[in-house]
Structure 1
Amino acid sequence: MRRTKGGPPAHAIAATALAAAAALVLASCGSGDEPAPKPTVSTARVGMTPGDGADAVAPDKPVTITVAGGIVATATVTAEDGSTVTGAYQPGGATWTTTAPLKYGTKYTVQATGVDAHGLPSRGTETFTTLTPQSLVAASKVTPGKGDTVGVGMPISIELDHAVDDPAVRAAVERRLSVSASVPIEGAWGWVDAKTVRFRPKDYWPAGTKVSVSGNLYGVSFGNGAYGAAGTTTDFTVGSALVATVDSAAHEMTVVKDGEVVRTVPVTTGKPGFTTRAGTKVILGKEEHVLMDGTTVGIAEGSSDAYRLDVYWATRVTWSGEYLHAAPWSVSSQGSENVSHGCVGMSTDNAKWFFGISNVGDVVKVVNTGSDKTMELSGNGYGEWNYSWDEWLKTSTVGTVTTGALPADA
């Protein structure tokens, strides 16, 4: 008798049958009667779900084989292209269930053998066909990009092309997203909007960590005939631990790299009416040159606050237009007063130095602004670090997870 992967070996099945037969013989001897003859027909009955001929079977529903009056000896679920579906035996061996989603729009053949206590086999075969989705849901954007080196504050962000509001579906998505790292990291996936789910560690990533992300949504039902598309992967490396703290009241920025202060820089931040957002931000991108136009942030052309400037060594921290950048026109105010329209301005030399030392994903904290204008939790950059850990967990449906281990050669 052959053995199905994950199931009882043939010798174990035979031993079970022999033990049962021996027990019957001993019982007969004890009564003084002749041993009961061994049956010639198996009492095991093989049952399968879904039923034979079933159509439009949901690909996320497991195939189950159950043997009444015996155990499952062999079990295979084979697609029309010859590929098979993995499965596992349940405790006791009387039930076998698939452990992977089925393919869409595919005909499957299920074959199983059960044996009773005498080792007599009973076989069953059925066919069914899975449904074809009306639409597929894919990850339209995944960050960080493959091979990127990022800062310690960088979240993993997955943007779907389909809104997800149902908590049960969100949980199914989170469970299909896997993060592995070179050191164990405690973190959680959280939803910042209906299409975007992000992974944030409980604390900043340790410097030098290697991270791999796998997200296979195939087989996940999103409702209304929509199902997940094939998976997506990315891997990245966390660089040095760089955190810049901008103190608006002291008019200076302190840059700490790998636990050591590497420079304190005179700065100017937002003046009254244009206060720089307080809170923790993450560098979104870097531009050696950017044209800054006040009309793009609602400042009327021709007003006393209007501006249109060529700006250099600009490090972006919000999508709405906050940067850390060179501001040679305000050098006389840097270190003494706040005169900007919300950005952090510094000398050209200091801006170029910071531009060169920093990575996307590095952390910029702004403190002591004297204003209640704070970094948005979502929608204007990476605001995840402005949640407490308990608050972040409320955005998750699955809760805390610990990253898996990367292979030694990763």
Structure 2
Amino acid sequence: MDALTLEGFRVLGVAEANTQNKNFPKSQQEFKFNFKGILAFYDPPKKNINKVLSHFYESGIKVKIITGDSDATTISIAKQIGFRGFESHISGKELMLLSDKEFDKKVMDVNIFTRMFPEAKLRIINSLKKQNEVVAMTGDGVNDGPALKSAHIGIAMGKKGSELAKDAASLILMNDDLSKMVKAVSVGRKIYTNLKKAIQYIISIHIPIILTVFIPLALGWIYPNIFSPVHVIFLELIMGPTCSIIYENEPIEKNTMKLKPRPLGDTFFSWKELTTSIVQGLAITIGTLGTYQYAISQNLNEPTTRAMVFTTLIISNVVLTLVNRSFYYSIITTLKYKNNLVMLIIAITLGITSLILFIKPFSKFFEFESLGFYQLSFCLIVGSLSVIWYEGVKLWKRKTSKNLN
């Protein structure tokens, strides 16, 4: 038996008891059994399980084995699949004898739990939740039901899973392929990251719009009404597709699965991320208002000044779209990302801007004066510089966080 269990077999002992007495004992252990032999079952690990585990470990996800199998069988399988922490283990009976404090500590320190029963599995899940861990539980048996129900995410097997396990679970893996869990994590992280990019973009670009309208009016500058409602509406029409179409379709970044999972009580935005967006917005504001003051110093009229400020803001918006596709990798890297909508939206934005700057009926409606080559170049340089400085911050991040490259 020891030899079989050490090779990863599940061993079942078979015995029989015969009785002519109709008064059965209170427990089956009171029968006199005759040993018949043993049955050895081998359920080989999935071929891709090593790769699945390595993805989980790389993503900062802790993996624990909670099984009803014996110590020897479980450890043998754990070694075969490259499971981390197979050296230490504890049985369900031993675990349930611990105090709550000792139990919680053991649950965090040990990765293999053997000879487990439903009550022990459930207590492990609740202990992890109590310690602010986000818990996903996979199972297929009836005795997994309570733990599947209690976990934040219960995952049942579609083929081998019992009906009770499926009913208790939040998700069902239809083909019992654990690699789908890795895919689910990556898709979830991509959606979360892209949503944050879109909102950070919205914060950054609205700050200069608000301040460019407010500051000249509040400080009594020579052209206080530099933007009218029609200009703001046009800018909003540009920003809408950018945040909802471009960022929604961004591919997952190659370091996304190397990031640590978020704590359970973590807020959507950290102060660091919010500060980044605010600073980006203020930098663009400096660029647009600097353009305003430059135009005044050159004795340019109001339509030309308005056109220069507006063009600077449009250029900043385009560059911000490209820069904020990643807050870690350079703009050169993100230009290689497969998202054809980026260039399409940018081309439409620049095309419409050109129409309202250089086609008389449109420029008259927006109260613009056509800009010369020198003025356009000035807007292009200032608009780009007011955003592109963040590439230096990203370069510093890459140099100080080499493990995420």
TM over 0.5: no
Q: Could you say which TM-score interval applies, normalised by the shorter chain? A: under 0.3
With the length of structure 2 as denominator, give the TM-score of the two structures.
0.25
- Structure holding more strand per residue: 1
Higher RCO, Cα 8 Å, sep 6+: 1
